[in-house]
Structure 1
Amino acid sequence: MPAAADALTHAEDLAAFVAASPSSFHAAEHVATRLTDAGFTLLREDEPWPAAPGGRFAVVRDGAVIAWVVPESATAQTPVRVFGAHSDSPGFKLKPQSTTGRLGWLQAGVEIYGGPLLNSWLDRELRLAGRLVLDDGSSVLTATGPLLRLPQLAIHLDREANDHLALDKQTQTQPVWGLGEADSADLLGELAREAGVDAARIRGYDVVTADAARGSVFGLDDVFFASGRLDDLASVHAGVVALERAADGFDADHIAMLAVFDHEEVGSGTRSGAAGPFLSDVLERVWLGLGADRAQQLRALAASWCVSSDVGHAVHPNYPHKHDPVVQPKLGSGPILKINANQRYATDAVGAAAWNGWCDAAGVASQEFVSNNSVPCGSTIGPITATRLGMRTVDVGIPILSMHSARELAGVSDLWDLQRVAEVFFRG
């Protein structure tokens, strides 16, 4: 079926969202800016927070952001509904002494971040984006336009490239960004110029690569959407749109919360990752503001929910043997419920029933995902959140192809449907 107008509008908004979020730090700031434009108040962790029911708020910690809406009827034991996602994606991160090169080529010294499909990064224009920390301790965001490229070796010089291509992670993944000698160029100077600061003031940096091409809709009847960083900005965007819509006239028996974590692709074990204290810190401050003691906080947690949203594998027409022979999610057939017997996903029967109920209420079809028994299963922030907080958690997402590629493939209608279910989840 042709993509619906609402779904196409949502996809175009997602394309703009991804373009504005080339790094986790940009994503967190963009979410905060978008929500403050929608009437949310941006809080600081080192300042007092409002201590009364009602209101909509957001707080940023490095490349993570949490936003929430408190109903006027909230009490010390009001539970929370958390829609969780992550802001980082696999790729490359700048090393110290990042300006390198040889044989008249300027190159960037990079380290592999997470588990990218290395070959997918070849022969495409790349951006650099992230944060610079200056000599006074302040941080500024920076992002270039198309600047780098990983040029592939010509077939004439590697006649077996189409039979097997394996890149050396150290010597063959250093992108080019100009011509000249490394001792007469400065990659950090390019980043400083984009940020409008003096390069001599830079004392530290967290800078990653991102695909420079904008996300686009294509295919017969506009059913496909391709973009970098769909893992997991597709979920972040769905959560932002859903929270924006749910916040208007919000009247529920719970607190609606969006939690976007950093560093999921490298294990989540940081101050801004799901294994860190960010979510528990925010929850404690919110409930303390409502007058909750520890026992009341625990009772509120026991009645709370987390929907952990991340991408999953759609069945691949060229590699059907890599998927479960029966459970085979398809693009355009709805978001997925992610299940794993070994608890790599947090979904259980109670969570499955709740998810299916929210999908029914949204008028959205849902699919299930399980891994082929012979293919190891990945994981998400779901089990981490459930373990840290004891909150009932269910793992969901959208089916995609080319996961961890520089440019991933999703279904336009699935993106829109995930947002619709998220809004029902928030509204209750």
Structure 2
Amino acid sequence: MYKKTSEELVSFIKNSPTAFHAINNMANRLKENGYEELLEGKCWEVKAGGKYFVIRNNSSIIALNIGTKLDNYSFNVAASHSDAPTFKVKENAEIEVKGKYTKLNTEGYGGMLCATWFDRPLSIAGRALVKEGDAYVTKLVDIDKDLVMIPNVAIHMNRQVNDGYAYNKQVDMLPLFGGSECEKGDFNKLIAENLDVAEKDIYGSDLYLYNRMAPSIWGANEEFISSPKLDDLQCAFTSLEGFLKGSNEQSINVFACFDNEEVGSGTKQGAASTFLADVLKRVNAGLGKNDEDYYRALAASFMLSADNAHAVHPNHPEKTDVNNCVYMNEGIVVKSHAGQKYTSDAVSIAIFRGFCEKAGVPVQFFANRSDAAGGSTLGNIAMSQVSMNSVDIGLPQLAMHSSYETAGIKDTYYMIQVMEEFFNSHIEEVNSSSLRVVK
């Protein structure tokens, strides 16, 4: 069961080279399960027992499974993110080098491990806006072949590289696209051919590099999975699968996957935007509920902020906390931080541990070393717009922000199980000191 689940994850990631493709695949999965798309610019007609989803910017999505007994309802929210560190192709991308090479002008998106992008097959994917009559239509782009590569400088020409080297993204990280036969405009021509449109009809694009290396299940006992974008498509995939499996009549179940977490979430489609609040408020109103009902619901609502965590590195165990450190294939990670970079507190940890216990899933605890700064995630950012109890969780992995990351095959299965348990449950506020979880 562990390997089968990981193979399904692998298939999802292979078909999701960018956030736009990931969200499109999620939308198709929701449609297959009877979910109806709502457009933000149109009037919404929602009802108890309905199943809906909303997409913003083609890169963020929120889905809802509405219960039928909503006298004392709350929101069960699982949130993840669709983006990963990579390189974005700039406008006027082609750079000619002495008439012999053409390389592409790119810039970094997010905090990547630059060294992992060298000497491996890469390609280009994203979206293009194509003019069709009076409309500008979004079309997904994926050049499905080994297209570009970022070549290393030979050690003979950079003798100090193994002693530490600061990569310059404008110099070292530009991908090689073509040789002396490449002509100016070939890149735009390739994009147009991929879309089967005229070059003049492409009015805009968001295009990114992606790693072409196939995901792999490996290890002495096939216990590991390596792939691009495990952070955070592993959590996005497992959250969606648990959402589709779970159901309860007293809650509104919510699956949310936001873009731009890797660059701070401060966009119209990021966790810091009004997207989640907008959707929850509109659904609340569409169900005939008022503001008082909405705020009462939020008081008992709960978010699982799902974003991967750092496993103990086999060569550098000193990089993690002595006690609050985690290992692949040993369960879901609960992340805590005194400075509130993570939303987990005693209340949310206790409730989540209860879900894990009921699901029969092991749980681990992570905290950064007290003398080291850690990363942040989307939970506390989303709470600036919609306040509810929240716990930050994730799956343990190695080489976070590499172009090829590693995790454990058991943990994918564990996350689906606990997500299903969460979405099968209903949380009620008993008083200011206690919450109750019921089926």
TM-score by length of 1: 0.95
- Matched with 1:295 is 292
- Matched with 2:328 is 331
Runs of 4+ in 1 over 4 A off after TM superposition: none
- Matched with 1:10 is 5
- Matched with 1:195 is 195
Matched, 1:271 2:271: no
Alpha-carbon deviation of 1:182?
6.6
Distance 2:231 2:188 in 1: 27
Paired-residue identity, %: 36
Matched, 1:110 2:106: yes
Alpha-carbon deviation of 1:374?
1.7
Which runs of 5 or more structure 2 residues have no equivalent in the other structure? 426-439
Structure 1 counterpart of 2:66, from 70, 77, 84: 70
| Kept after mapping to 2: 8 A contact 1:64/1:260 | yes
Distance 1:10 1:197 in 2: 38
Alpha-carbon deviation of 1:89?
0.3
- Matched with 1:43 is 38
Alpha-carbon deviation of 1:98?
1.0
Alpha-carbon deviation of 1:372?
0.8
Matched, 1:403 2:400: yes
| Kept after mapping to 1: 8 A contact 2:68/2:250 | no
Structure 2 counterpart of 1:364, from 358, 361, 383: 361
| Structure 1, 112-121 or 291-300: larger mean CA deviation | 291-300
SS at match of 1:51: coil
| Kept after mapping to 2: 8 A contact 1:24/1:87 | yes
Distance 1:251 1:362 in 2: 16
Distance 1:101 1:327 in 2: 51
Distance 2:240 2:19 in 1: 15
Q: Cα deviations across residues 90-149 of structure 1 (Å, max 9, x unaligned)?
A: 010011111223131121110100100000111111121111012332111101122111
Which runs of 5 or more structure 1 residues have no equivalent in the other structure? 1-5
Distance 1:320 1:241 in 2: 33
| One-letter amino acid matched to 1:25 | F
- Matched with 1:88 is 83
SS at match of 1:220: coil
Alpha-carbon deviation of 1:183?
5.2
Alpha-carbon deviation of 1:181?
6.8
| Kept after mapping to 2: 8 A contact 1:101/1:181 | no
SS at match of 1:39: coil
Distance 1:59 1:46 in 2: 11
Q: Cα deviations across residues 282-303 of structure 1 (Å, max 9, x unaligned)?
A: 1011111111111111111111
- Matched with 2:409 is 412
SS at match of 2:344: coil
| One-letter amino acid matched to 2:196 | G
| Structure 1, 188-197 or 401-410: larger mean CA deviation | 188-197
Distance 1:385 1:30 in 2: 23
Matched, 1:343 2:340: yes
Q: CA RMSD in A?
A: 1.3
The correspondence of residues 60-209 of structure 1 with structure 2, limited to 5 A, is 60-62=55-57, 63-75=59-71, 78-103=73-98, 104-135=100-131, 136-145=135-144, 146-180=146-180, 184-209=184-209
Distance 1:47 1:168 in 2: 46
| One-letter amino acid matched to 1:64 | S
Distance 2:400 2:96 in 1: 31
| Kept after mapping to 2: 8 A contact 1:142/1:192 | no
Distance 1:415 1:384 in 2: 25
SS at match of 1:325: coil
- Matched with 2:308 is 311
| Kept after mapping to 2: 8 A contact 1:101/1:182 | no
Distance 1:311 1:410 in 2: 9
Q: Cα deviations across residues 19-43 of structure 1 (Å, max 9, x unaligned)?
A: 1111111111110011101221122
Distance 1:422 1:331 in 2: 18
SS at match of 2:325: coil
Alpha-carbon deviation of 1:74?
2.8
Distance 2:188 2:370 in 1: 46
